[in-house]
Structure 1
Amino acid sequence: MHHVLTKIMAVLAALATLSVATPTPAQAAVAAYFVMTDITRENFVVQLTDPAKIQHARDLISGTTTDKPHVFGRIITRPAPYNPHWSYQLNPDTVSFFDVAIEVCDATIPYVQDHLDEAGGAFLPGLVWCPWTSRLVREISAP
């Protein structure tokens, strides 16, 4: 009986830990998704979780601002469910906006895809991507 009681207590402790460690939807960061394009006219979905950056993106789309119209961030070399056409994504924690950037991080959406195996070296050092012709075109609903 002691052995069964010990197992029950262990399961209850594990469930208590799980319920504390798993954020509720109200606690989780709210993500917003935006379609970005570039000179190639390809579409790439960017996930944003920072409320100030989400607002800046919405202001760009609505025309409320023209400041820092281009998107940059650090790429992750694996696909995201919200961006199924590409084998990479932008890390939402690193996405930001810019007016002017250095050339070494500039590349079009398809060029990154075609040279993904080279990213992080001489091509896109540090996996930082700053497509100069990038612009947000619309917000989309969560996938």
Structure 2
Amino acid sequence: MRRGLLKTAALTAAAMLTLTMTQPAHAHGTAHHAVADEALFEITDITRERFVIKLTDPAEIKHARDLVNGETTDRPHVVGRIIKRSAPYNPRWSYHFNPATIDFFDMAIEVCDATIPYVEDHLDETGGAFLPGLVWCPWTSRLVREIR
């Protein structure tokens, strides 16, 4: 019974994440401003490891710059779907965020939380019970700087 309950909870969480991740990234009421087509930012987490993300949505780029510059503290953590291969801008890790899915959050459900090195160490398990739908939302993530 308990195993079935856990499986149901995991599937429900995955469905909730899928619904959340299918909304446009600019659905937070942030006005679009003229910014570059893409921008790179470095994030860290509780482990102090560094991870590079690429943002392509103008509203998300503006929000990230506002976070880095201290102009806002709203939605400070990063969420998105991961791709299980390295990216040229993030070569240290065997995975990266799909730029089209990146968003920011204040709070999220536990099923998508993991540290940067934990995801690397368990990459072969992602997409199942670990990080269902490949959605990753490191709760302790924070932007450190923009890479120019």
**Among 44, 59, 66, which residue is 1:59 paired with?**
66
Matched with 1:116 is 123
Matched with 2:37 is 30
Matched with 2:55 is 48
Matched, 1:93 2:100: yes
AA matched with 2:122? H
Structure 1 Cα separation of the partners of residues 68 and 46 of structure 2 = 17
Structure 2 Cα separation of the partners of residues 94 and 49 of structure 1 = 9
Matched, 1:71 2:82: no
- Normalised TM-score (structure 1): 0.78
AA matched with 2:123? L
- Normalised TM-score (structure 2): 0.75
4+ residue runs over 3 A deviation: none
CA apart distance, 1:110: 0.2
Structure 2 Cα separation of the partners of residues 30 and 67 of structure 1 = 23
AA matched with 2:80? G
**Among 124, 133, 140, which residue is 2:140 paired with?**
133
CA apart distance, 1:31: 1.1
Alpha carbon RMSD of aligned pairs, Å? 0.8
CA apart distance, 1:30: 1.5
Q: Deviations over 1:22-63 (max 9, x none)?
A: xxxxxxx72100000000000000000000000000000011
Q: Is the radius of gyration larger for structure 1 or structure 2?
A: 1
Identity over aligned residues, as a percent? Answer: 76
| Gap runs ≥5 in structure 2 | 1-35
AA matched with 2:101? T
Q: Deviations over 1:86-113 (max 9, x none)?
A: 0000000000000000000000000000
SS state at 1:93 partner: helix
| Gap runs ≥5 in structure 1 | 1-28
